[in-house]
Amino acid sequence: VSHNDHAVIVVGGGIGGLGTALALARSGVPVHLLERAPEFSEVGAGIQMGPNAIRALDHLGVLDSIYETAVFPQRGVISDATTGERLTTIDFQAPMIARFGYPYVVLHRNDVLTTLLEACRAHPLVTLENDREVDEVIDEGDRMRIVCKNGVELTAGLVVGADGINSRVRRLVTNDEPVFSGHIAYRGAMPIELVPSAADVDEVQLWVGPGLHLIQYPVRRGELYNQVAVFESRRYAEGRDDWGTPDELVEAFAGTCEAVRAVIPRQAEERAYPNYDKDPIDSFVANRAVLIGDAAHPMLQYLGQGACQALEDGLVLAAVLGGDPDDVASLGEYDALRVPRTTKCQRVARPWGKSWHTGDEAFKGFRDRYFRGRASDDFSEVAWLYEDVFQSLGERMAGVQVGGNR
Ligand SMILES: Cc1cc2nc3c(=O)[nH]c(=O)nc-3n(C[C@H](O)[C@H](O)[C@H](O)COP(=O)(O)OP(=O)(O)OC[C@H]3O[C@@H](n4cnc5c(N)ncnc54)[C@H](O)[C@@H]3O)c2cc1C
């Protein structure tokens, strides 16, 4: 065995890759992780984590560290971005904890990444390498050969593709391309003092209107305020080149109520992210390669589940392997557990976004009447996302030190 041969190589050190490396290490498997960037880092914006992600972080043994910077909003509020009417609220604390065992939490992305990174660095079975961009992964039967951009080659008994929506590892499974939604997100977190409307730090605000929405919530112990303004680009639909620009953002939000419109000029200074997903696929496995996170099932952000599902992926992978990374037969079980669930996320996220952005008066009438009538502790629409997917793995989750070392 040369020093370039590893039991497991994880390609990509985002939230999914670091979470998976940690899960595997905690199950007794040595892991080597390759990240193309010179440093581990995340987008300078917030992230929402449903109870299923918090449960996963608990299984990874990092909940205390996560809770040090997290914000625990009392509720989510959905309002009409045009009229300002509060349509409905959803409880994020006591009723959610009573039902799912964990709260709904909002965080800064870098705080999540830092927690996972520190846990990986502290674990004797994890080694991390930056400046390693994987160019190609070659299936050699009983080994996988990884060719990096600078010519370095490594081999592994198992390759985990955690390299995001433009995954190289995914090419072993399919050569599909990202699908552009035509939606653009301007997002970023700023000091909370700069946001006059941020008085109520107990709420995650979602404002919905025709072809647009705005999300607002505090992060990092309430020191920063995260805002995400999303619109469906008309210019893109018309085939123009100047789509997604700050002035199109301002134009798109021109008809919104004062509370929404007021934050848009500042938001236009943030970075723009065009939103892509992919169509679901039947398998995340090719011999000794397996995909997790956005490499496996990139989805639109409307369910707030992309990273949550990535964390679940890593833990389920570790549990089915049961400490033996050579047990490639068990990857079939990984597929069986993860493909249907994440396919549903991908499929539901698209119309979920459409329901926020509807300009159809009839549909909007039904939607709003439903919103106004529902109780704040009615979790009917999201229960399937927040339920415990680890339960079916029973004893095998214990091998990943369930809730251990807290
Ligand atoms: C606007 C928006 C809002 C969102 N909100 C939420 C939310 O509230 N909650 C939620 O759960 N999810 C949310 N998501 C989705 C979430 O951000 C992603 O699903 C998640 O970050 C995916 O993590 P990942 O680790 O799989 O991939 P990535 O974060 O993309 O990480 C991939 C890593 O691999 C590295 N890499 C790529 N290619 C190579 C290579 N060839 N060699 C080596 N390294 C490589 C990259 O540098 C990167 O570090 C949102 C997404 C968007 C766009």
Residues with catalytic roles: 217
Is the CB of 187 within 6 Å of ligand 1?
Answer: yes
Reduced to 3 states (helix: H, G, I; strand: E, B; else coil), residue 156 is strand
Question: 204, 106 in Cβ contact below 8 A?
Answer: yes
| Euclidean distance between CA atoms 366 and 114, whole angstroms | 43
| Euclidean distance between CA atoms 63 and 59, whole angstroms | 8
Is the CB of 34 within 6 Å of ligand 1?
Answer: yes
Tell me how far apart the 2 most distant CA atoms of the chain are, in Å.
Answer: 66
Question: 168, 134 in Cβ contact below 8 A?
Answer: yes
Is the CB of 11 within 6 Å of ligand 1?
Answer: yes
Question: How distant, in Å, are the alpha carbons of 129, 265, 284, 343 from that of 279?
Answer: 31, 34, 13, 8
Alpha-carbon Rg for the chain in angstroms? 21
pTM of this structure: 0.97
Closest CA to 205 of 197, 307, 110, 258: 197
pLDDT of amino acid 197:
67
Closest CA to 325 of 22, 29, 1, 23: 29
CA of 34 to the centre of ligand 1 (A): 15
What's the gap between Cα 63 and its chain centre? 17
**Residue 162 alpha carbon, nearest atom of ligand 1:** 26
Which residues of the chain fall below pLDDT 70?
1-3, 197-199, 402-406
